Amino acid sequence: MIAVLVLLLVVGSILLVPLLLLAVVLRLAVGLILLPVKLALLSIRLVLALAFGGLALVIGGVAMIAGLALAAVALLLPLLPFLMLAAGAWLLWRIVRRRPVVPPQSGLPAGRF
């Protein structure tokens, strides 16, 4: 019984080892044949990833700036009445205050400089 088992192992090894070697050689050959295709697809994937990544970065930056502008408007909108009062007070101050009279100097036109 053990002799039959050993005989089957030897015969199986004689048939199986060449088939395994053939499978390794075929896999290596197919891998080498398809290597340029894999490299081309990898380069295309890299270019597309960089392009869409840059596009996403630009879109994200624009969205961030728009969001910050919207937040600034939303935060400063309640202060608008106070800004209007301050602008009115400043305009009144400019109208009411006295300006010193400066004699015109040679070469310069009359006015505030």
C-alpha distances in angstroms, 70 versus 57, 62, 74, 83, 98? 20, 12, 6, 19, 42
Structure confidence at residue 105 as a pLDDT band (50, 70, 90): low
Count of positions (residues) in the chain: 113
Can you tell me the distance from the alpha carbon of 42 to that of 49, in angstroms, rounded to the nearest whole number? Answer: 10
Q: Which region, left, alpha or beta, applies to residue 99 given φ > 0 means left and ψ of -120 to 50 means alpha?
A: beta
Mean pLDDT of 89-110: 76
With a cut of 80, say whether residue 98 has pLDDT above it.
no
21-63 confidence digits (pLDDT tens): 999 999 999 999 999 999 999 999 999 999 999 999 999 999 9
Give the predicted TM-score (pTM) of the model.
0.46
pLDDT at residue 60 in the model: 97
Structure confidence at residue 70 as a pLDDT band (50, 70, 90): very high
- What is the residue extent of each domain of the chain? 14-96
